[in-house]
Structure 1
Amino acid sequence: MFYGAKAQAVEDVSFSVGTGRVVALLGANGAGKTSIMKAIAGLIPATGTVRFDGTDLDDLPTRGRVRRGIVYVPEGREIVGNMTVRENLVLGGYHLGGRDRKSRAAMVLDLFPEIANKADRSAWRLSGGEQQMLAIGRGLMAGPRLLLLDEPSLGLAPMLVRRVFDRLAAIRKETNLSIVLVEQNLAVTMRICDELHFLRGGMLVGHRSAEELKDSASRQQAIDTFLGAAV
């Protein structure tokens, strides 16, 4: 996986995500996490193969992957600040019919009551945590089967991080949604993930199940072994 002509961002990365499972990618800045997410979403070319439901997606553009059920929520939220909360949600369901968009918007606002009573307010007026909820909600509008979440805790206070991850846990419990989660914070990631892959220098350097990291000693060992002082 390359940026430009020569800069290789990721090398020899392979992992799978089961239905209804949450798989986390952990590593320091520059480890290649976002490059992997963008390649899965079709935003940058990949030298390998991305398979979804047994089908190669190599020649399928981003819009086609969204229609298949692969939705990317990027780092930094990238909501449209001068549009209302409701209008941002409509953007997320652009390919749906009017009735489906309306029902999915109602579902999202029910899931995130913090933004429900601000649905007709400009998105830039939301707090950081509310903007993150809107970004995730906009991704859910597309009816994803695989949700790619890039650093959802970035820049949020611990209380807001808990709220966001509590909502993600609820989504996971109520649906068969699969999630690939990019994070730097192991403690946050452990709230919802099933498996963790550790990256360093654009390569996978380790794998653990959430079950293997239940106690603090094993988590610290994983940090020391795979991430060093980066986390």
Structure 2
Amino acid sequence: MSDLLTVRDLSVAYGSGAPAVKRVSFTVGEGAVVALLGANGAGKSSIMKAIAGLTPASGTVMFGAEDLAALPARTRVARGIVYVPEGREIVGDLTVRENLILGGYQKAAAERKQRMAMVLDLFPEIAEKADRQAWRLSGGEQQMLAIGRGLVANPRLLLLDEPSLGLAPLLVRRVFDRLAVIRRETDLAIVLVEQNLAVTMRLCDDLHFLRGGRIVGQRSAAELKDKAARQEAIDAYLGAAA
């Protein structure tokens, strides 16, 4: 498997304070799912925003053979990097369909229509409410809409920031089940930021644990299927945050 994303010595600082991210390095293969886990304030979202081009950063971010340093966020979307932020950030006054159209604004009309049909087939809960204002959806439906909006852009790399945040366990399972379908049926690569180890393990290949803006450990999902190894990782890297 060739590397689609290579992050090397990435650092992010806001103002004159201590860096939020300190020399982080990891790779994501074509079609792979890589998770970044850690407590609030560990630097996970800052890494995602840096990859998406939404916050200044130092270090190297390569997408395939292309260095992203000089590319603004809009161009990164056109290259196939799509960020689904924490908190969803859908446009509540627009309908479900209109939000999906926004996701494919850079695509030709025919491709956008095809991608929207695929998303509505994948998420029948929102397909039934396509002409309803987005603010009227449940939390789980809004998360499906946020992910679907990202998928309309036909990404090669999807950056998912805390998709389980604020959702009841049943809805978390439903969202992750749909992500598993996407995983099986496409070659889409995903970087997943999460605090929920159990649901993350169901989807990802590799997990990187962060603390204080640094990667402090790495495990494969296969390794963590062993209960003792999983508890060891929780104790070593997540502690009470798990």
CA distance in 1, matches of 2:18, 2:54: 16
Alignment match, 2:158? 147
Could you say what secondary structure the match of 1:12 adopts? Answer: strand
The aligned amino acid for 1:168 is: L
CA distance in 1, matches of 2:42, 2:153: 29
TM-score for the superposition, normalised by structure 2: 0.94
1:166-205 equivalent positions in 2, closer than 5 A: 166-205=177-216
Alignment match, 1:15? 26
1:222 to 214, 233, 242: 233
- Output one character per residue of 1:120-160: Cα deviation in whole Å (capped at 9) or x when no partner: 00000000000000000000011000000000000001110
- Output one character per residue of 1:58-84: Cα deviation in whole Å (capped at 9) or x when no partner: 010000000000000000000000000
The aligned amino acid for 1:216 is: K
Alignment match, 1:89? 100
> Percent same amino acid among aligned pairs?
77
TM-score for the superposition, normalised by structure 1: 0.99
Q: Which sits farther off after the overlay, 34-43 or 46-55? A: 46-55
1:113-152 equivalent positions in 2, closer than 5 A: 113-152=124-163
User: Which runs of 5 or more structure 1 residues have no equivalent in the other structure?
Assistant: none
1:25-104 equivalent positions in 2, closer than 5 A: 25-104=36-115
The alpha-carbon deviation at position 5 of structure 1 amounts to 3.6
Could you say what secondary structure the match of 1:213 adopts? Answer: helix
The aligned amino acid for 2:173 is: R
Could you say what secondary structure the match of 1:8 adopts? Answer: coil
The aligned amino acid for 1:47 is: S
